[in-house]
A and B are shown apart, each in its own frame.
Chain A
Amino acid sequence: MTGKASVQNGASSPASRLSAAARRAWAIVAMPLISILLALVAGAFVMIVSLMLNGQPLDVGLVVRAYGALLEGSFGSTDAAVDSVVQSTPLILGGLAVGLAFKAGLFNIGAQGQFLLGALGAVAVGVALKGSPVPLAIAGALAAGSLAGALWGFIPGALKALSGAHEVVTTIMLNYIALGVVAWAVSGPLDTPVSLEPLTDDVGNAALPILIGRNGHAGIIVAFLAVAAVWWLLERTTIGFEIKTVGANPDAARYAGMHPRRMVALTMALAGALAGLAGTVVLLGVTRNMGVPYATTVGFDSIAVALLARSNPVGIVFSALLFGAMRAGAPLMSLRTNVPDQLIDVIQATILLFLVANVVIRRVLRLRGVEGSLGGTATITKSYGGEVTVR
């Protein structure tokens, strides 16, 4: 068999090509789907067990009612669906922030801090431009939010590039520092005298317009543009090629004349900008001002979003929608069935658990030809300051 012949073998009949594509799609999607299903089963188990622990009669119907309410709360009406999208919007951007970093072999736990800084940057400029023309005010606030996030991402990136300080450690520390910065700014320079509590002014004209329903703000457009931009960056540019090479194999990157350290700093800044945008759209689209504490778990949920989607930009849209919809539906579930919101956290965490345990699950379910890797977990232990690889 010559090389030529074997290359042509790849393109056989359209039917077999289609089935090959289907197999490929199944290989990629199977593990996430199975994990979600198993997590829902685990959630049901938790509900039943807590009934029993409380000495209440066994009621299997509760599971059906709770999940039914969850579904209705997330997609049962236009308002519900819009709310799901609104909840998903920052998760898409945050998921991109974590996913892009994964592509470069970096574990960005700092999306939370970058989110807060982004929101802070947006409120600072938004308040300053609240009387300006709407397009200018929005553009200015968006730019400020993403820049502030980028700065917060660049710091750990630069630290890693210069000294090898592991980004997991530095980003966690920066998350705490971000909390402090926000508290200081909101109770100090940005505080409005109108309120007794530490609270900023409203962003006025910089607020994102509501497009549909009660609260369907324009942030989703920003999110989709970001998905397209990240996809394009990764797949169609030399920068993306460098990011992926550095992430997959920093030694080969160096050999190929790339600069892994520079790429680390750049990627973290880009990731920070994306997480900053997540904070920005929540601030400009939902809260419109900033208080202390500025309660959010978007930065941490984003890690789950990225892991479930294996850092694929398009996959991130779907996994963000899943988590966003569950968040949106949870209140109705707890209203109707007394099952608390926290069940969502349980499900979300169990999904991750099953994804991490993919080796076991693939063996138990005898899954063949299914990809298991998380597309990121191997990077967690990587560092320039001496490898600590656990594999």
Chain B
Amino acid sequence: MTSNEPSQDTEPSPDAGAAPVIAPALEMRGITKRYTGVTANDRIDLDLRPGEIHALLGENGAGKTTLMNVLYGLARPDEGTILLDGREVQIDGPSAAIDLGINMVHQHFMLIPVLTVAENIMLGDESMRGPVLLDERDAKRRIVELGKRFGFEIDPDAKVGSLSVGWQQRVEILKALYRNARILVLDEPTAVLTPQETEEIFAVLRRLAAEGHSILFISHKLYEVLEIADRITVIRRGRVVGSRRPRETSEDDLAELMVGRGVQLVVERGESTLGPVALRVEDLHVNDDRGQEAVRGVSLEIRAGEILGIAGVAGNGQDELVESIIGLRKPSAGRVLLEERAVTGRSPRQLNAAGVAFVPADRQRFGLVTSFSVSECLVLTDYFRRPYASGIFRNDRAIHATAKERVEEYDIRTPSVDTRSGTLSGGNQQKIIVAREFARQLKLLILDQPTRGLDVGSIEFIHRQVITKRNAGTAVLLVSAELDEVLELSDRIAVMFRGAIVAVLDGRTADKNEVGLLMATGGRDPAAAKQGSAA
């Protein structure tokens, strides 16, 4: 498929069921944006009809964000034009975009937690009474009305910080609607939501579309796109590589378009023989940075050759649990045993030497030093050991030799081993960490969000490596906010809710909705989950 005729399969011409020919609300024609050495967008054509949900699908680095920045006025295209209702427009910045009715809901919410819903929504577009006084009453009335129109009741006086993530997202959407947005761009809107919350947001989006709003939905989750979109446009390496309607395509088809080759979405797990208990955690209590108890009496065990997945909405104590097992955080009570020997409170280095490996959730914070070279990052935990050093003397030759091996073995795409790790893509950065942590004999492997933000190809690669380790007899603790990942990889699934494990399920038989509900409610009161605002 060549990029020169990207629109060829955009229009399956005799399509009786679809809307008749309506002028597109938004049309981007031949958008090209070059950065030094890279063409981020290469003659991209994209149109959005009134009342349509159009999904933009692509891996990280495919050029989705650049395209959206062009649309939002944050980047000026080198070539190409943008048309609104058939008229060419110049978008010089976000305020110009907002004036034209284009609004963006960012992946990371742009909300101020200490302000109320109404205050957040008014911010930057305040209703005034006279020159100095805010007219909050009018704003609140409009907010409540808007919410009702799209199927949810929101308390305009609730502090945003007290709302669940799903409700914060609704606030973001309300903010856009409040500014009379006709075109709504959602950047990875479901990344932080539970399956239930995702369904609820989808319902809101459908309602918006039914009212004539146009929605551009950016995602890399295939099943979601299939569920919500009227049309799906796939871009790869800055070019439109195809356009599909959900009923004409499948996850495999989309994945292939996205990656450019066939991809095995679900990695074959194979057989593994269970050994003795490798990790035992007994009644562990851990405080978070603010001194609040984040882990409240967690007990679990993992046997050699087994993957225990921990499912849970981010922020339910998973990070603190993992950090205390790995020695980065002192537990306030409880015990951690590695092969039945107590290792509670040991330092990261001692645990590393004992055969524990850790892939941290925040790779740029813990896993890498972005200003260091690939080779230095590959020895970050081993730099003091032979052959990389003798005494205090570094042995750069050995470091380089090992780095070259690892780069090849783990398919790390880098110009050289001396390249700064921060300049690589997220997938390749993660591969550096995986290469470093996996390339030795392990007893216990701890993975915290191992594929967050990665492209399909890298996810497949990392999943394979994890399975290989498990089948070789390593105990694996997998923490992930991606429920699908937990379901795919785990032999057993523990659901974590408010610092405690509320259920342990068999990985082969666990049902996605059941786990999702447990994640959202802790298995207590399902009705409570519907009420987004936590009191």
Say yes or no: A256 contacts B413, CB within 8 Å. no
Known: A3-B408, A10-B415. A237 touches B394 (CB 8 A): yes
Contact with A along B385-421 (1 / 0, CB 8 A): 0000100111010000000100110111111111100
- A245–B376 Cα gap in the complex (Å)? 10
Name which residue of chain A comes closest to B379, CB basis: A241
Name which residue of chain B comes closest to A1, CB basis: B413
Indicate if A252 sits at the interface (CB-CB under 8 A). yes
Name which residue of chain B comes closest to A249, CB basis: B369
Say yes or no: B376 contacts A257, CB within 8 Å. no
Chain B residues whose CB sits within 8 angstroms of the CB of A9 once the complex forms: 415
Indicate if B381 sits at the interface (CB-CB under 8 A). yes
Indicate if B149 sits at the interface (CB-CB under 8 A). no
- A10–B415 Cα gap in the complex (Å)? 5
Chain B residues whose CB sits within 8 angstroms of the CB of A77 once the complex forms: none
- CB of B424, distance to nearest CB on chain A (Å): 11
Chain A residues whose CB sits within 8 angstroms of the CB of B350 once the complex forms: 257
- A202–B412 Cα gap in the complex (Å)? 63
Known: A7-B404, A255-B358. A2 touches B411 (CB 8 A): yes
Interface of B with A (CB < 8 Å)? 36, 326, 328, 347-350, 352, 358, 360, 365-372, 376, 380-381, 383-384, 389, 392-394, 396, 404, 407-408, 410-419
* 11 A-B contact pairs sorted by A residue (CB < 8 Å): A2-B411, A4-B408, A236-B394, A237-B394, A238-B393, A244-B369, A252-B365, A254-B348, A255-B328, A255-B348, A256-B349
Chain A residues whose CB sits within 8 angstroms of the CB of B328 once the complex forms: 254-255
Chain B residues whose CB sits within 8 angstroms of the CB of A249 once the complex forms: 365, 368-370
The 6 closest A-B CB pairs, nearest first, are: A257-B349, A10-B416, A255-B366, A249-B369, A237-B392, A248-B369
- CB of B352, distance to nearest CB on chain A (Å): 6
* CB-CB contacts below 8 Å: A244-264 with B: 244-245, 248-249, 251-252, 254-257
Chain A residues whose CB sits within 8 angstroms of the CB of B392 once the complex forms: 237-239
Say yes or no: A255 contacts B367, CB within 8 Å. yes
Say yes or no: A6 contacts B369, CB within 8 Å. no
- A9–B414 Cα gap in the complex (Å)? 10
- A386–B126 Cα gap in the complex (Å)? 34
- A254–B369 Cα gap in the complex (Å)? 12
Say yes or no: A256 contacts B365, CB within 8 Å. no
Say yes or no: B372 contacts A248, CB within 8 Å. yes
* A-B contact number at CB 8 A: 88
- CB of B82, distance to nearest CB on chain A (Å): 25
Which of A9, A239, A251 has the most chain B CB atoms closer than 10 A to its own CB?
A251
Chain A residues whose CB sits within 8 angstroms of the CB of B366 once the complex forms: 251-252, 255
Chain B residues whose CB sits within 8 angstroms of the CB of A240 once the complex forms: 394
Chain B residues whose CB sits within 8 angstroms of the CB of A4 once the complex forms: 408
- Checking A236, A241, A257 against B352 with a beta-carbon cut-off of 8 angstroms, the contacting residue is A257
Chain A residues whose CB sits within 8 angstroms of the CB of B418 once the complex forms: 10
Chain A residues whose CB sits within 8 angstroms of the CB of B36 once the complex forms: 368-369
Interface of A is mostly: helix
- A248–B358 Cα gap in the complex (Å)? 20
- A374–B265 Cα gap in the complex (Å)? 45
Chain B residues whose CB sits within 8 angstroms of the CB of A11 once the complex forms: 416
20 additional contacts, CB 8 Å, given A6-B413, A238-B393, A252-B365?
Answer: A1-B413, A2-B411, A3-B407, A7-B407, A7-B408, A7-B414, A7-B417, A9-B415, A10-B419, A238-B394, A241-B383, A244-B369, A248-B369, A248-B370, A249-B370, A252-B367, A255-B360, A255-B381, A257-B350, A257-B352
Interface of B is mostly: loop
Say yes or no: B416 contacts A7, CB within 8 Å. yes
- A254–B410 Cα gap in the complex (Å)? 25
Say yes or no: A252 contacts B369, CB within 8 Å. yes
- A235–B410 Cα gap in the complex (Å)? 27
Name which residue of chain A comes closest to B392, CB basis: A237
Chain B residues whose CB sits within 8 angstroms of the CB of A239 once the complex forms: 392
Say yes or no: B370 contacts A241, CB within 8 Å. no
Which of B369, B404, B416 has the most chain A CB atoms closer than 10 A to its own CB?
B369
Contact with B along A39-80 (1 / 0, CB 8 A): 000000000000000000000000000000000000000000
Say yes or no: A257 contacts B414, CB within 8 Å. no
Name which residue of chain B comes closest to A259, CB basis: B347
Chain B residues whose CB sits within 8 angstroms of the CB of A2 once the complex forms: 411
Chain B residues whose CB sits within 8 angstroms of the CB of A241 once the complex forms: 376, 383, 394
- A2–B376 Cα gap in the complex (Å)? 22
- CB of B345, distance to nearest CB on chain A (Å): 14
Chain B residues whose CB sits within 8 angstroms of the CB of A235 once the complex forms: 394
Say yes or no: A257 contacts B415, CB within 8 Å. no
Chain A residues whose CB sits within 8 angstroms of the CB of B380 once the complex forms: 245, 252, 256
Name which residue of chain B comes closest to A255, CB basis: B366
- A236–B395 Cα gap in the complex (Å)? 8
Say yes or no: B414 contacts A248, CB within 8 Å. no
Say yes or no: A245 contacts B352, CB within 8 Å. no
Say yes or no: B369 contacts A257, CB within 8 Å. no
- A6–B367 Cα gap in the complex (Å)? 24
Name which residue of chain A comes closest to B388, CB basis: A238
* CB-CB contacts below 8 Å: A120-138 with B: none
Chain A residues whose CB sits within 8 angstroms of the CB of B394 once the complex forms: 235-238, 240-241
Say yes or no: A3 contacts B384, CB within 8 Å. no
